[in-house]
Chains A and B, each alone.
Chain A
């Protein structure tokens, strides 16, 4: 892994997996949601992925994708990394790029929160904005066009990179089973599908009867404006056969969930975590007993400017109609 030995300069040969920052990725804590649990026989456990270095679950896949690319030689010394991202993966790649000396260019919808722009710029990444009305699909399309036009760019492409589900199968899944050995249901947000696919594969292999549930955003009126259905996109890393159920969650319900996590459990979570809680409670309503693990993908820091916790919920939901937030 010669190409991975640049950290620390020539005199100190350090591979990414041994770097103190990247080594702190994963091994995130699990806490029980005792106050939100709907009954004493249904236990809810939250896996706090904001404990990763940049504050989201995406540190896991960013590190895995870049380590893979370095090992295979697909990513050359100092080569620029380009990636479509609604924020979290971009910020994670910006950290890895900064550690390893790769310029990072992130293609991001122009209607995300300002915190994401500021974090990316703080890490030294370049931002290319895609039309917000096209949502994440628009960012994917533009990043693919830019990468195709410039062979000097390397695109990990989280939506199609096998390292994405694989790192969840190798790390997140085993961590969950060790932390909650009697897990019956796993609930996570559906973005690339990597988390649900990887964790789901591991849990289903190791424990009979585990159900895997996806929570996906109901797109706002202003971000569902695909030009045609041909622009539709099913991420290649999503193995839909691993899923047992899949729910749409409105911004309104996601906000309510975020507030419950804060007010009842003291957890400062991001918007997708509220959606995951909303789905978990819906699934729990059909269960008599069992243990559920909820993956909380990021913390609340990147949403502070939206006043997610303090504004009128209907007013804030209306504002989110035109945004890509989770």
Chain B
């Protein structure tokens, strides 16, 4: 099971947890597992079946959009991070 970090803005959809364990060998499978258990999460992070442009997904700190997107592999000891798109720092 990988660990998925949930940002504060989405925690009400997962019962308030900061991090939840999820199964799946790809980002799509991990998210699918979360959506089955926490249906409210699906509407918050997807638009028309795709990831919302305001949600970034990282596997081990690396943005999956620059890897294989939803097909990016996820290992058992990997950490998946969901983050809202935010203006960065140094600005």
Whether B61 and A229, one on each chain, are in contact in the complex, defined by CB atoms closer than 8 angstroms, is no
Chain A contacts for B9, CB-based, 8 A: 224-229
Whether A247 and B85, one on each chain, are in contact in the complex, defined by CB atoms closer than 8 angstroms, is no
Q: In the complex, what residue of chain A is closest to B91 when comparing beta carbons?
A: A191
Whether A326 and B90, one on each chain, are in contact in the complex, defined by CB atoms closer than 8 angstroms, is yes
Chain B contacts for A224, CB-based, 8 A: 7-9, 83-84, 86
Whether B90 and A229, one on each chain, are in contact in the complex, defined by CB atoms closer than 8 angstroms, is no
Give how many A-B residue pairs fall within 8 Å (CB-CB): 118
Whether B55 and A158, one on each chain, are in contact in the complex, defined by CB atoms closer than 8 angstroms, is no
Q: In the complex, what residue of chain A is closest to B44 when comparing beta carbons?
A: A229
Chain B contacts for A228, CB-based, 8 A: 9
Query: Which residue, of B62, B66, B86, has the highest number of chain A Cβ atoms within 10 A?
Result: B86
Whether A136 and B86, one on each chain, are in contact in the complex, defined by CB atoms closer than 8 angstroms, is yes
Q: Is A88 an interface residue (CB 8 A)?
A: yes
Whether A272 and B90, one on each chain, are in contact in the complex, defined by CB atoms closer than 8 angstroms, is yes
Whether A190 and B88, one on each chain, are in contact in the complex, defined by CB atoms closer than 8 angstroms, is yes
Whether A235 and B90, one on each chain, are in contact in the complex, defined by CB atoms closer than 8 angstroms, is no
Whether A325 and B66, one on each chain, are in contact in the complex, defined by CB atoms closer than 8 angstroms, is no
Whether A158 and B91, one on each chain, are in contact in the complex, defined by CB atoms closer than 8 angstroms, is yes
Q: Is B63 an interface residue (CB 8 A)?
A: yes
Whether B90 and A191, one on each chain, are in contact in the complex, defined by CB atoms closer than 8 angstroms, is yes
Q: Is A234 an interface residue (CB 8 A)?
A: yes
Chain B contacts for A136, CB-based, 8 A: 86-89, 91
Whether B86 and A189, one on each chain, are in contact in the complex, defined by CB atoms closer than 8 angstroms, is no
Q: Is B1 an interface residue (CB 8 A)?
A: no
Interface residues on A, range: 35 or more
Q: Is A159 an interface residue (CB 8 A)?
A: yes
Q: Give A240 to B61 CA distance when docked, in angstroms.
A: 17
**Which residues of B in the span 49-72 have a Cβ within 8 Å of any Cβ on A?**
52-55, 58, 61-63, 65-66
With A85-B91, A234-B54 known as contacts, the answer to whether A226 contacts B86 (CB < 8 A) is: yes
Q: Give A121 to B85 CA distance when docked, in angstroms.
A: 31
Q: Is B14 an interface residue (CB 8 A)?
A: no
With A224-B8, A243-B66, A244-B66 known as contacts, the answer to whether A229 contacts B88 (CB < 8 A) is: no
Chain A contacts for B45, CB-based, 8 A: 229
**Which residues of B in the span 7-23 have a Cβ within 8 Å of any Cβ on A?**
7-10, 18
Q: Give A259 to B85 CA distance when docked, in angstroms.
A: 29
Q: Give A324 to B10 CA distance when docked, in angstroms.
A: 21
**Which residues of A in the span 293-326 have a Cβ within 8 Å of any Cβ on B?**
297-298, 324-326
Q: Is B81 an interface residue (CB 8 A)?
A: yes
Q: Is A232 an interface residue (CB 8 A)?
A: yes
Chain B contacts for A229, CB-based, 8 A: 9-10, 44-45, 52, 54-55, 84
Whether B87 and A326, one on each chain, are in contact in the complex, defined by CB atoms closer than 8 angstroms, is no
Whether B91 and A245, one on each chain, are in contact in the complex, defined by CB atoms closer than 8 angstroms, is no
Kindly identify which residue among A189, A221, A234 contacts B90, using a CB–CB cutoff of 8 Å: A189
Chain A contact residues, CB within 8 Å of chain B: 56-58, 84-86, 88-89, 135-137, 139-140, 158-159, 189-193, 216-219, 221, 224-235, 240, 243-249, 270, 272, 297-298, 324-326
Q: List 24 A-B contacts (CB under 8 A).
A: A85-B91, A136-B87, A136-B89, A136-B91, A159-B91, A189-B89, A189-B90, A192-B91, A216-B88, A218-B61, A219-B86, A224-B84, A226-B8, A229-B45, A232-B52, A233-B85, A234-B53, A240-B65, A245-B62, A245-B63, A246-B66, A247-B61, A297-B90, A324-B89
